[in-house]
Amino acid sequence: MDKLKFLINQVDQRKDEMIELVKTLISYQTPAPPARNTAEAQAFIASFLKRHGFEIDMWDVYPGDPNVVGTLKGSQSTEYKSLILNGHIDVAEVNPEEKWEGNPFTPIVRDDCIIGRGAADMKGGLAGALFAIKLLHEANIELPGDLFFQSVIGEEVGEAGTLQCCNRGYKADFAVVVDTSDLHIQGQGGVITGWITLKSDQTYHDATRRSMIHAGGKLVAASAIEKMMKIIDGLQELERHWAITKSYPGIPAGANTINPAVIEGGRHAAFVADECRLWITVHFYPDETHEQVAKEVEEHIKNVAQGDIWLRDHPPIFTWGGSSMIEERGEIFPSLEVDPFNPAVTLLAAAHKQVSGKEVVQDVSPTVTDGGWFGDAGVPAVIYGPGNLMNAHSVNEQVSIEQLVEFTKVLVSFIYQWSHQEK
Ligand SMILES: [Zn+2]
């Protein structure tokens, strides 16, 4: 325990070093979109981890966007608990018309704040976690359990950085996603996007419209755009039904929305629209899966189509998810349920209380993070990181230094203690 006290003290004493680390990470310009710009930042993280005893696995998820996974093998790794720390290196985009105090990638430190793109979401969290690792290493502490550090790409645009880590076989007894949570311990609902396409088997000139909509016209055909109105009506019915029948503690009722986000259709004003595509965003609760909600949407919309003479013969086509909003115009964020009785969760909560003197708030994130991929892969996980969502993606994005210090203390204490727990 003396070691732990020493480590926690170090965070206070070497606060300026940590602030410098946050500033360095912010200064790498990694907005997504446009993405494909994280190679330098990831090389910096890889060499940082290497310096502190980690073995590096680095691979391109996309050209110019590599994932980094550092492994610090435990001294008794078969007997002691393993841990994954996960964060994303990409940040929200910056629009030229945004009125920032200075350059968003030249961080400003003022009073208790670090201001810059990614300060809250989530280079603050990444820097805190890296700094915790550095302190452990410099204090010559050998952890008995395995420790993995994952710096992933593409989170802001729904890319499969964390999914690839899971598919590559990285597993542990617990994972902490150090994304923006205002130091709450959080699970999350999920999101899946999908396209619903209506397609006519023939293309008609605008002049045939009279024959397809008036008495005696004898042309059984339809505008795909007009038929899409029925689909949108059907989605609203289902959305309302879900709002009434489903709920999850800690999430406002009706948060399980179906948003008709984008519509595309028709080819030219001289034609009747022969195709229409609707891009929807479906939010679901932590105890649901994306497969299950996609199936519910499909079943309901297929029933709607059965009640329409034209749609019955031209059934809607569904395309769900995708691994990138940029490449495939589609994404999935699985949900994450947190078991408050999981020993790692109780240990993290105790570490938080010990450092801050306050009970940790355990609730559900109103947004989505990569945490869901761990849930999906069967790795118990939580979201726990500095910064709040008011600041994430905002102009003059900032993180409180006091909170960052608190986070780093909690994390160093948690890593140390969890790694000393027997499997
Ligand atoms: Zn984030």
User: How remote is the CA of residue 351 from the centroid of ligand 1, in Å?
Assistant: 23
Alpha-carbon span 338 to 362, nearest angstrom: 9
And the tokens for 341?
């009785």
pLDDT tens, 167-184?
999 999 999 999 999 999
299 φ/ψ angles, rounded to the nearest 5 degrees: -60, -45
Of 24, 111, 117, nearest in space to 401 by CA:
111
Specify the pTM.
0.93
User: How remote is the CA of residue 372 from the centroid of ligand 1, in Å?
Assistant: 13
Q: Which amino acid is at 379?
A: V
Show the CA angle centred on residue 171, arms to residues 393 and 136, nearest 5°. Answer: 75
User: How remote is the CA of residue 57 from the centroid of ligand 1, in Å?
Assistant: 22
Which pLDDT belongs to residue 1? 62
Q: Summarize the confidence of residues 287-312 as an average pLDDT.
A: 97
| Cα Dmax for the chain | 91
- Indicate the pLDDT class of residue 273, thresholds 50, 70 and 90: very high
User: How remote is the CA of residue 186 from the centroid of ligand 1, in Å?
Assistant: 13
User: How remote is the CA of residue 6 from the centroid of ligand 1, in Å?
Assistant: 31
H helices, E strands: number in the chain = 12, 16
At CB < 8 A and 24+ separation, what contacts does 400-404 make? Answer: 400/112, 400/113, 401/15, 401/19, 401/109, 401/112, 401/113, 401/114, 402/112, 403/182, 403/183, 404/18, 404/22, 404/114, 404/124, 404/127, 404/128
And the tokens for 250?
């800690």
And the tokens for 141?
């502490």
Q: Summarize the confidence of residues 108-132 as an average pLDDT.
A: 97
- Indicate the pLDDT class of residue 220, thresholds 50, 70 and 90: very high
User: How remote is the CA of residue 273 from the centroid of ligand 1, in Å?
Assistant: 40
Is residue 2's pLDDT more than 90? Answer: no
Indicate which residue of 121, 146, 155, 288 is catalytic: 155
User: How remote is the CA of residue 156 from the centroid of ligand 1, in Å?
Assistant: 7
Is residue 391's pLDDT more than 90? Answer: no
Sign of CA dihedral 166, 168, 174, 178: negative
CB 178 within 8 A of CB 128: yes
Which pLDDT belongs to residue 153? 98
- Is 79 catalytic? The answer is no
Alpha-carbon span 399 to 181, nearest angstrom: 12
Which pLDDT belongs to residue 351? 98
User: Which element (helix H / strand E) includes 147?
Assistant: strand 147-152
- Is 237 catalytic? The answer is no
User: How remote is the CA of residue 265 from the centroid of ligand 1, in Å?
Assistant: 33
What's the chain's average pLDDT? Answer: 96
Alpha-carbon span 54 to 384, nearest angstrom: 23
**Can you list the domains of the chain with their CATH numbers?**
2-188+336-419 (3.40.630.10), 190-320 (3.30.70.360)
Which pLDDT belongs to residue 215? 92
User: How remote is the CA of residue 82 from the centroid of ligand 1, in Å?
Assistant: 23
Alpha-carbon span 396 to 96, nearest angstrom: 13
Which pLDDT belongs to residue 156? 95
Indicate which residue of 90, 182, 274, 331 is catalytic: 90
Q: Summarize the confidence of residues 210-218 as an average pLDDT.
A: 94
Alpha-carbon span 353 to 381, nearest angstrom: 19
Using alpha carbons, list the distances in angstroms from residue 29 to 22, 116, 137.
13, 11, 28
Using alpha carbons, list the distances in angstroms from residue 312 to 201, 227, 279, 296.
13, 11, 21, 18
User: Which element (helix H / strand E) includes 267?
Assistant: none
* Helix 15-27, helix 39-51: angle, nearest 10: 150
User: How remote is the CA of residue 154 from the centroid of ligand 1, in Å?
Assistant: 10
Lowest mean pLDDT among 184-193, 228-237, 389-398, 400-409: 389-398
